[in-house]
Amino acid sequence: MTYNYLILNLLPHRLDIVLNNPPVNILTGEVMKELTKVLEDAEKDESLRVVVFKSEGKAWSAGADVTEHLPDKYEEMLYTFGELCETVRKYPIPTVAAVDGMCLGGGCELACMCDFIIASERAKFGQPEVKVGVLPPVACAVFPKKYGLKTTLDIVLTGEVFSAAEAYRMGLVTKLTSAEEFHAVLEAFTGNLIANSAAVMKWVKKAAWKGAKHQPKDALKRVNEIYREKLMQTHDAVEGLKAFLEKRKPDWKNS
């Protein structure tokens, strides 16, 4: 399938989704729909172990189209963007936002829905919606539990643009690197994920979601159920344990 606003690069066990809506990769409704479609299709590819979001140009994404926030369009925008962010948040394999530029508004929300953000020192983050009289729905809904209420209010009420170093201190950025080392760090990070079993990572993510959703005692009960009833029924869980005991590299089947 041909996409108007995305470039897809399929690598061994990895899909790079490149935002390509110049000049600053605005997330229009059509861009959001294309992203959701790509992710849904990629989920059928059992060889994939990681999805990386990149961008063309000077901005990772400057956010949603302001015209789509107006009274006659915002309902559709809220739905479409919510569907995209929920798809990313609950994606079965690891997702990485590789940010080497401006990442604002809806772009910041989308990046933060990924499991990891690798950012160069040139990156900037922020939710400036309050400056134009609206609010960032995904940030307000998800950030308090993910980053804490105090940090969330700092982001959504001030509307300030934060440096990559500030975003790292806030907990938004997973790894902060120089512009020169950005690509090498990204390759090393994704390579570490690719070395794992997709089937095992799927259940690890689901277990972590249980931990985030429930109180510790109840969460542990639910995680143990995943371990017993799901994880240990896979080929790769048993293979990984055997490989460790036999001092050899595991032969993952991703099943």
The pLDDT value recorded for residue 221 is 96
Determine the Cα–Cα distance for residues 4 and 107; give it in Å rounded to an integer: 18
Q: Could you give the CA distance from residue 93 to residue 88 in angstroms, rounded to a whole number?
A: 10
* pLDDT in the model for residue 2: 85
pLDDT of residue 200: 97
Tell me the C-alpha to C-alpha distance, in Å, between residue 39 and each of 77, 90, 184.
19, 11, 25
Question: Would you say the C-alpha torsion 130, 164, 31, 113 has a positive or negative sign?
Answer: negative
Residue 194: predicted pLDDT: 98
Rounded Cα gap, residues 117 and 96, in angstroms: 6
How high is the pLDDT of residue 1? 72
CATH architecture of the domain 6-194 equals Alpha-Beta Complex (3.90)
Mark the ranges of the chain whose per-residue pLDDT is less than 50.
Answer: none
Helices 74-89 and 29-42 pack at an angle, to 10 degrees, of 30
Q: Where are the domains of the chain?
A: 6-194, 198-245
